[in-house]
Amino acid sequence: MGFYRETLGLSDSAFVLLRDLIHERTGLYFEDGKREMLADKVAPRLIELGIESFLDYYYRLKYDEGNEWGHLMDALAVPETFFWREMDQVHALVEILVPEYVESARPAPLRIWSAACSSGEEPLSIAMALHEAGWFDRFPIQIDASDASPAAIARARLGVYRERSFRSLPPGLRQKYFREEAGGWRISPALHARVRWHLANLANLNEIAPLAGAPFIFCRNVFLYFSNEAIRRTVSCFVRHMPRPGYLFLGASESLLRVTNELELCQVGSAMVYVKR
Amino acid sequence: MRMAVPELDAGLFTTDGELVIRSWNGWLARVTGIGAEEALGRPLATLFPEIEARGLLSRFRRVLAEGVVEVLSPRLHHYLIPCPPPFPSRRFPLMQQRVTILPLREGERVVGTMVLLEDVTARLEAEREPKATGMPEEVLVRGLREERWPSRQLALEQLAGEGGDETIRALLQLLQEGHEDLNVLTSVLHVLIHTDADITAPLCRFLEAPDAALRTYAALALGERRDREALPALLRALDDPDANVRYHAIEALGKLQATEAVDRLLQFVESRDFFLAFPALDALARIGDPGIAPRLVPLLRDELLRAAAVDVLGHLGDADVVAPLVALLGEPGMPVRTIALALATLYDRYEAQYGEGAVIAELARDALDARAVPPLLEEIREAQGDDLRPLALVLGWLEGPEVERALVRLLAEPAVHKEVVQALVRYGPRVTALLVDLLRSEDPGIGRAAAVALGRIGDPAAVPALVEALSGEEGLAIEAAGALARIGDRRACEPLLALLGHPNAAVRRAAIGALNSLGHPEMPGRIREMLLDPDPRVRESATRIAGYFAYPECRERLLERCQDEDEAVRSAAVEVLPYLEEARSMALLARALREDTPRVRAAAARALGQVEGGDALTALLEALGDTEPWVRYQAVRAIERHASPEAVEPLAQLVRSDSAIPVRAAAIEALGAIGGSRVVALLAPLVDAEEADLARSAIAALGRIAHPDAILPLLEALRSPDVMRRVEAAAALGRHAESGVVELLQWTAAVDPDPRVVQAAVDALERMATPEALAALLSLSADPGRHEVCIRALARPSQGRIEALARGLHHPNPAVRCAVVEVLARLKHPAASDLLAGALEDGHPSVRLAAVTALARLGNRRAEQRVAALAREDPDLVVRRAARQALGLRQEEG
């Protein structure tokens, strides 16, 4: 018995089985070169459950009823997020698209969905930007935020953030919307209440369909970890449910070019957005 | 030669070396009306004279002579054995067959053929069914002129699939006369590119037409069709007076991977003709002849062609191009990212093929100087995504405080952790302080990567900081524990002991692993105390450590832990019982298995897999009736280790009727460990099970059973529409030594459309490593689509491999002999080098060229005299040039 990861050998066949199961249920795809990464992320779950092999864990995931998938999503979640990240798109939303929406007498409330919100920094950034522009006083706006990781949603619901989350947020906004307390900085309850938090897996079309009717969907920096097939399925669900026009915002290094042509890539202000016309 | 001919839903017959039929299966008897008694002992050409008349016997003869696999496509050949289709067909008077001809071997000698016929009539019938229109072909041809794309598309799809000879003639005429209409042109080209009809000759004639546009489109179409028969015409087209024609001829030759065109293409590149040099470079990259690299090096000084030349050199160059590439980095205005990518590509290729990426790194290090640092640092600041890795790799070959700081900052990028840690470890203790600072980073990923690097550097100066990190974020604590274990400094023991009660199980386990690695003379006493700690987590951890070392002073307290009030402690205690060599262990395990909670019962079942003897098996068999599926599962797994025939019936019962799929799957695998004909009969139907896990387990289990009856179900699984079942079946077949398995695996590797299945079949052949299996791999390597995967497999080091490969140097096919040279070069063994020297005498220039190139790279001086002779006298220009280059290399080193 050496280091725990070395005793829990991830064989070729177990890796493929586990990888394919995770892909099927979550959309996340670990290429052959990411075997060690998958083992590192999953090994703590095995230890917690007292399981000694990845094959046994595969069976446990696939056939056991219970909440292991939630724990696994926590383990697989990529936690890198912070306030005021890639704001060009948020500015395009607030300064151009929201006014257009309101002026064209489209239905109220105006719905925005932050899919894969992690611990909430993105939807709260959107809320801050809307609040700064005075939109909450002028038009009913509903912000939904979801993630597949129960732990991430729990942190989002808590609304307390550490220093690392603020590295891009203008100091004035931190002072305005956060109060320091033991353990971090708490978001203003009024702003926090602007967001409704949901547990939803982007690969589970039943879970996301009710949220995908929003005309503005932020789904940023999550498709990086998906296979093309999983992206296609999820985006098709978005397209089926979004109204026209509908706007999908992806991360700066993400593209639907090789995946689907159901949406048109357009420039809005200084941001690139996929549009359903 | 005997060959079991199983009953299949396909035709299967074998012949001897004279093509006399030696076996004939029931399917063939049914569809041909010719029974086995009539077929056996008769020459194939006598039974079916038209096979020879149609020129198909030559394919059989090639299989016999070269040991390759031949496939007769239904689209081109339609059938091998004429017989009526199984159902009335509108389109086909005779059954359409997909035919595979395989070599049958005795040892390495090919002694006959095995032929598999598959009826594809229904599939082809369905594919060619016209879509609702039922329109005559002439109407469809007119449809190609339609303005509206949907109408043209419909016509295209139908014509591409089923256009007859008249239609193709009409389309060729349309191309000749109507190509100025863009709709017509694109539509006709699409059909001509995709049609199965043989149109090479008319298209080659178009290459001589007076109309330059027509010559251009002909070249384009020939390139897309990748028809090597067009090669001579395309080579002539390189002299066409029209630049567009030359352009498309160049592209076409690249798509054909025409080595014959290399010298001409190089001339285009060296002419610096802007319009033609780029496609010529692209074509050379596709052709992949590494011998051209020295002629591309001067292009690094050409501003326009430089970036393209760098890219090609990265893919084709060898160690000689490292210094010229690196030299560019220090000059202003250079495409730094492209150069870094080329160097990284070279490094990766050397690492993958020869395990010698370090050679490239070393050469680069020698050539790099401080002038390269600023441009690399600037690029790294801006780079994202895939651009980062090559830059991080090259930066890691440099030295200096600025470089070290930049690399340490790159620990924030998970995508380059591996490269950065590798470089930092190479720097050693001088970066300890920088890394220690990072342990406190706000970004947990950076801290973890820093801990990993510190562990690999092994500098004891890092111990205090790593100890402090043990109380940090959980992931960091885990990596810090691992690093402390690697450093091996016992100052870490006490802080690690303090972690044994950590609330996170993974942290506790990391601490346990580190303590097990460090050892300490005081550990037995400390652990003995901890076995009674009020905290159950501490007791559990102490139990694991005490069990690992089997400390005598801890024995009694350890046994008492089997009755601890805490379930996790009891579970850990029963797990370690088999390692204590303690007479009371069996009784304790049996009691735990009968009476404790499900978690402990499952642990006890698992532990009993490590205990020999009938008592353990008896207890486990009883546990097959446990109410908890995970207990039954662990009991089955443990029974698998015992592999006792006594367990067959209870396991079979579970397979038939357990409510839990994992239990049934485990029971299938356990039956595989026991084996025997009865087990085969039980498992064979399960390869088709609807439930994927059961099918997979059955296939794997049949792979373990050394019984000829296990082969047929595996063969059926090899033909499954499910890719993963075919993968499993190929792997399972590779564990069988029965006659015919090598042929089946060779067939699979040759014809399966999925690369995962091909890889599995190749790996299976490599693992078998019999002379027949290695001969099959060598034959497969002649197929360009299978070449690299076979070479990689053959180049895995293995006892006796070189002797087996040596025989491949006498194979009738020069492509196979070249493959042998390539494998010998990758093996890097003195015996292999001697064989390579022998290959310098080969009768075929391609083999002599391969041997010269390989010996040059290996630096084999013993062959130098012979290489010098080739440089002077070889009848082939390319061989003489390569030999001169090889000598030139050594003269520089000397």
The pairs formed by B531-537 with CB atoms below 8 angstroms and a separation of 24 or more are: B531/B557, B531/B558, B531/B560, B531/B561, B532/B557, B533/B501, B535/B501, B536/B564, B536/B565, B536/B566, B536/B568, B536/B569, B537/B500, B537/B501, B537/B502, B537/B503, B537/B508, B537/B568
* Span B693-750, pLDDT tens digits: 999 999 999 999 988 889 889 988 998 889 999 999 999 999 887 777 888 899 899 8
pTM for this prediction:
0.81
> By C-alpha distance, which of A125, A252, A103 is closest to A112?
A125
Q: Are B501 and B533 in contact (CB under 8 A)?
A: yes
Q: Which pLDDT score is estimated for B889? A: 56
Residue of B448, B474, B508, B509 for testing the chain A interface, max A β-carbons within 10 Å: B509
> By C-alpha distance, which of B220, B225, B259 is closest to B237?
B220
Asked if A50's CB is within 8 angstroms of B514's CB, the reply is no
B318 Cβ contact list (under 8 Å, min separation 6): B290, B293, B346, B857
* Whether pLDDT at B799 is above 60: yes
Tell me the three state secondary structure of residue B1: coil
Q: State the first-to-last Cα distance of chain B, in angstroms, to the nearest integer.
A: 56
Lowest mean pLDDT among A135-144, B84-93, B396-405, B566-575: B84-93
Asked if B662's CB is within 8 angstroms of A50's CB, the reply is no
Size of interface A-B (CB pairs under 8 A): 55
> By C-alpha distance, which of B800, B611, B863, B784 is closest to B226?
B784
* Span B241-291, pLDDT tens digits: 999 999 999 999 999 888 889 999 999 999 999 899 999 999 999 988 887
Asked if A44's CB is within 8 angstroms of B506's CB, the reply is yes
Lowest mean pLDDT among A202-211, B189-198, B654-663: B189-198
Q: Which pLDDT score is estimated for A253? A: 79
User: Angle at Cα B836 formed by Cα B833 and Cα B841, nearest 5°?
Assistant: 145
ipTM higher than the 0.95 cut: no
Residue of A nearest to B629 (CA): A64
Q: Which pLDDT score is estimated for B5? A: 42
B603 near A CB under 8 A: yes
pLDDT confidence band for B874 (50 / 70 / 90)? very high
Asked if A59's CB is within 8 angstroms of B568's CB, the reply is no
Q: Are B883 and B870 in contact (CB under 8 A)?
A: yes
Q: In angstroms, what separates the C-alpha of B514 from chain A's closest C-alpha?
A: 7
Q: Which of residues 432-451 of B touch A (CB under 8 A)?
A: 442-443, 445
Q: In angstroms, what separates the C-alpha of A82 from chain B's closest C-alpha?
A: 12
Asked if A44's CB is within 8 angstroms of B510's CB, the reply is no
B654 near A CB under 8 A: no
Residues A114-128, mean pLDDT to the nearest whole number:
97
Q: Are B724 and B753 in contact (CB under 8 A)?
A: no
Contacts of B606 in chain A (CB under 8 A): 52
Cα A238 from chain centre? 14
A3 near B CB under 8 A: yes
Asked if A48's CB is within 8 angstroms of B506's CB, the reply is yes
Residue of B nearest to A36 (CA): B418
Query: Residue B115 pairs with which residues in a beta bridge?
Result: B13, B101
* Whether pLDDT at B516 is above 90: yes
**Which of A43, A47, A50 is nearest residue B571 as measured by Cβ atoms?**
A50
pLDDT confidence band for B6 (50 / 70 / 90)? very low
Q: Which of residues 10-39 of A touch B (CB under 8 A)?
A: 13, 16
B555 near A CB under 8 A: no
Q: Which pLDDT score is estimated for B886? A: 83
Say how far apart CA A120 and CA B162 lie, in whole Å.
57
- B845-858 helix and B864-873 helix, angle to the nearest 10 degrees: 140
B517 near A CB under 8 A: yes
* Span B712-724, pLDDT tens digits: 899 889 988 899 9
Lowest mean pLDDT among B140-144, B749-753, B778-782: B140-144
Say how far apart CA B222 and CA B207 lie, in whole Å.
10
* Whether pLDDT at A147 is above 50: yes
Asked if A47's CB is within 8 angstroms of B509's CB, the reply is yes
B571 near A CB under 8 A: yes
A1 near B CB under 8 A: yes
Q: Which pLDDT score is estimated for B140? A: 65
User: All domains of chain A, ordered by start, with CATH?
Assistant: 3-76 (1.10.155.10), 87-276 (3.40.50.150)
Contacts of B509 in chain A (CB under 8 A): 4, 47
* Span A13-58, pLDDT tens digits: 899 999 999 999 999 999 888 888 898 889 989 998 888 899 999 9
B514 near A CB under 8 A: yes
Beta-sheet strands, E only, within A125-177:
141-147, 160-161
